[in-house]
Each structure stands twice: as structure tokens, then as C-alpha cells.
Amino acid sequence: MKNLVVAQSGGPTAAINATLAGVIATAYTSEKIEHVYGAVNGIQGVLDEHFIDLSEKIKSARDLDLLCQTPAAALGSCRLKLKDLDKDKAQFERIVEVFHKFDIGYFIYIGGNDSMDTVDKLSAYCMQNNITDIKVVGAPKTVDNDLVGTDHCPGFGSAAKYIGVTFAELERDCHVYATKAVTIVEVMGRNAGWLTAAASLARVNGAKGPNLIYLCEPVFDNDKFIADVKAQLEENDSVIVAISEGIKDKDGKYVSEQVQSGAVDAFGHSYIAGSAKVLENMVREQIGCKVRSIELNLMQRCGGHLQSATDISESRMLGSKACQCAIEGDTGVMAAVIRQKNDPYEVTFTAIPVSQVSNQEKKVPADYINEAGNNVSKKMMDYLYPLIQGEPEIVYEHGIPKHLALY
């Protein structure tokens, strides 16, 4: 028997703990695994030997359910990216040293692109150095839905549901006044427009939904935007526009960079925010009607009270799948979901080499966007629809959803 370590990384989502629950449930039922540890703050927690014995925190199936409804990484996260194998082996040696010290045979890392890079490098290091007693497996997670190799990512469906519901509610709100007004809503998505596309889900019950939707994939043209808004104002009092935070002009420059500094985060990504604010000012100056901007901000990724049951079930399955892969001897793979068909919705779970996943981005294909570049196509609606179905029963206590804290 060996021990297992599970860790989480990257941005929080409403489903990342369901994947953790899936890992734990499968580990608890395996005769090959003795202790199940959680590393606090991702791979940093491994380097720091900051482990939690999860059996002391998760003692029942009910605890697992509560974990599933708790948003954001219960084991914490980090933004630490491991150095390249050929440049610096010290981090890898340290990780393996810690794993051997704690008799860790299985390491499951739940995260997005950068986390899969860690799985890729660490599993490659082990293979290159003939370390066969440590299996390293990834489980996908990202609200952005931009991981390749999986039909969609845990966390995306719940965020999509939050966005669809919120746009439906904003539409009711903006509908009440009989005056011309434009509401510009900024949705997360630096380089992939999946989340912004989810605004279209506000339409599934016959509502109009956002009048215009601009994803970050097509070139964003200011003049075209103003013309689109003017045309919508001809026909409607209230015009709602969904935009990706990462809309870019023809030179690839973020619209938001018109008002932002050149700050970058730890991964060298441009720090961006405020595309909607830029467009708000543009509408005010060039059209002159009432206009406001809204950012869905962190709420869209941590809305645990508004999870998609489909997302949570699949996220848990992917955690189980990742754990099962490791138990059965796989390493350097990521659990993934394959959509078999749409109506009725059917999926299967598989594992793919993580080297095919890391450091790539799955952008929205052109045929998921309408020709004018200001809305989504039916293909996108068909893709999104199954992912937001179902509402898990959330346990409330004293009027607020109960959350489970691990540290």
C-alpha cells in the first residue's frame, strides 16, 4: 500500500471540489491506497511538506457531498509553474524526495493549462529517471473551458449556468424602464470566449437574451460595435451586450489596454480588466444614451449556490477517473470527457497523454460564432445546452449554503 496526495491549482471554480471529492471517494475505496493526503496550495504545498490527512476532515459520504457544494479550491491553490526540466532539476528532485519521505505512490493534480504542465513535467522527470513508484495524473479544471483533449472542463458548466441565469435576470431588470439604455456586461475569458458565449443560455426559455455577444476570438472593431448597438437601439429600449474581457482589436491589442497599465501576472499574462468600462465610455460619447457596464467578476466562477448538476456529477467522475488511472498504473495522463452525442446527452470518460494538453488553449471555433461576429451560432447553443442542466440540492444552514473548510 502506498499513500496518495491530491492538490489543486489555478483559479477557483464552483466544481473543483467535486473533482477532489471524486479523487477522495475512489482513493478511500481502493485497497492499494493507505493514507489520502491533501497538499495545501498546490505543488507549493508538496515542496513545503504542507499536507492534510484528509481522513481527519472527510469522514462520511455526507462530508463528500458538502465538499461538492463548496466553491473554490478547498485545498487552496497556487500559481507556481515548475521550471523546465533541462534547466533546473532541483524542484523535481525535491518533489520526489518529499513523495518518498511520505511514501506517496500517487499524485493527482487538479487544474488547468499550467497545472497540466506540472503533471507533464513531473511525470516526464520520473520516467526519465526511472522513478516508477510515483504515478502522476491530472484532472482537468477551468472555468475558461480552454483545455484541449476534453470536450469541456469541470467548472465551466456551473459558471455557464451562473452566467445564463444572471443574464436572464439582468434582462428582466433592464426591461422595466421605457427609456433607451445600453448595458454592457463583461464576462471572464482572456483568450477563449466560451464563458461569454454562455450568456446566450438566457434565451432557452424564450427570453431575448443579450442583443449582442462579442467573444474574444473574432477581431473587435469599435466602429462596427457602435453601429451594431445603434441598430439594436432602433428596435429596443433596453440593449444588453455580452463581451469577453479579452476582446482585441485587429492588431491583437486588448480593448481594455486602452486604460490599463502593462502589468503582467506571474505567468506573464497581461493583467486585464475593464473592457466593458472602455465600451461604456465609447457608447456614452458616440451615442449619448444611458449606458452602464457590469463585470461578473469573481462571482461567476465561485457561484456554488448555482451549480450545474451535470457539471458537478461529471467533475466528480473525472476526479474518480484520474484516481483510478493512477491506481491502475497510468502516469502522465489527464482524465477527460468525450461527448458521444447530444440528444440525449451522453458522455464517456477517458484518459489522454497530458503532453497533448499542457500549454495549449482551445479557442471557440469560427462556426460557433455567427457571420457578423456579434452573436453565437446554433452549434454553440447545442454545445452549451447539456452542460448547464440540472440543479443539485444545496444544503443551506441559517439561510446560507453550508461550506466545508479543510484548513
Residue positions annotated with a catalytic role: 144
Amino acid at 207: A
Q: What does the DSSP 8-state code read for residue 20?
A: H
Query: Which of residues 150, 308, 313, 375 is near a copy of itself by CB under 8 A?
Result: 308
CA distances from 293 to 163, 215, 216 (A): 15, 16, 17
Q: Is 181 helix (H, G, I), strand (E, B) or coil?
A: strand
| 166 touches a copy of itself (CB under 8 A) | yes
Q: Which is nearer to a copy of itself, 33 or 39 (CB)?
A: 39
Query: Which of residues 7, 54, 116, 170 is near a copy of itself by CB under 8 A?
Result: 170
Cβ at position 272, least distance to a copy of itself in Å = 12
Q: Is 65 helix (H, G, I), strand (E, B) or coil?
A: helix
Q: Which is nearer to a copy of itself, 177 or 267 (CB)?
A: 177
Span near a copy of itself by CB under 8 A; candidates 54-62, 141-149, 337-345, 391-399: 391-399
CA nearest 155: which of 296, 18, 339?
18
Cell of residue 375, nine digits: 452573436
Query: Which of residues 187, 291, 302, 351 is near a copy of itself by CB under 8 A?
Result: 302
Strand partners, 254: 248
Residues touching a copy of itself, count (CB under 8 A): 60
Span near a copy of itself by CB under 8 A; candidates 246-254, 330-338, 355-363, 382-390: 382-390
| 385 touches a copy of itself (CB under 8 A) | yes
Instruction: Please give the order of strands across the beta sheet that includes 2-8.
Output: 51-53, 33-39, 2-8, 104-111, 135-140, 333-342, 345-353
Span near a copy of itself by CB under 8 A; candidates 106-114, 141-149, 242-250, 295-303: 295-303
Q: What does the DSSP 8-state code read for residue 219?
A: P
Q: Which is nearer to a copy of itself, 67 or 148 (CB)?
A: 67
Residues in 29-88 at the binding interface with a copy of itself, rule: CB under 8 A? 41, 44, 70-73, 76-79
Q: Which is nearer to a copy of itself, 67 or 96 (CB)?
A: 67
Distance separating alpha carbons of residues 27 and 36, to the nearest angstrom: 7
Query: Which of residues 18, 47, 98, 202 is near a copy of itself by CB under 8 A?
Result: 202
CA nearest 9: which of 110, 89, 122?
110
Cis bond before residue 386 (omega within 30° of 0): no
Cell of residue 300, nine digits: 461567476
Q: What angle do CA 110, 30, 11 make, to 5 degrees?
A: 10
Residue 84 phi/psi, 5° resolution? -65, 140
Cβ at position 287, least distance to a copy of itself in Å = 16
Span near a copy of itself by CB under 8 A; candidates 85-93, 332-340, 370-378, 398-406: 398-406
Q: Which is nearer to a copy of itself, 242 or 326 (CB)?
A: 242
Query: Which of residues 201, 215, 243, 312 is near a copy of itself by CB under 8 A?
Result: 201
Distance separating alpha carbons of residues 166 and 160, to the nearest angstrom: 10
Q: For the window 3-22, what string marks contact with a copy of itself as x by the rule CB under 8 A? A: -----x---x----------
Query: Which of residues 111, 155, 303, 319 is near a copy of itself by CB under 8 A?
Result: 303
| 155 touches a copy of itself (CB under 8 A) | no
Span near a copy of itself by CB under 8 A; candidates 86-94, 126-134, 174-182, 188-196: 174-182
CB atoms near residue 219 (< 10 Å): 13
CB atoms near residue 268 (< 10 Å): 7
CA distances from 308 to 118, 155, 208, 376, 390 (A): 28, 9, 22, 21, 6
Tell whether the torsion through CA atoms of 370, 387, 76 and 99 is positive or negative.
Answer: negative
Contacts to a copy of itself by CB under 8 A: 8, 12, 41, 44, 70-73, 76-79, 161, 164-166, 168-170, 172-178, 183, 201-202, 204-205, 207, 294-299, 301-306, 308, 385, 388-391, 394, 396-403, 405
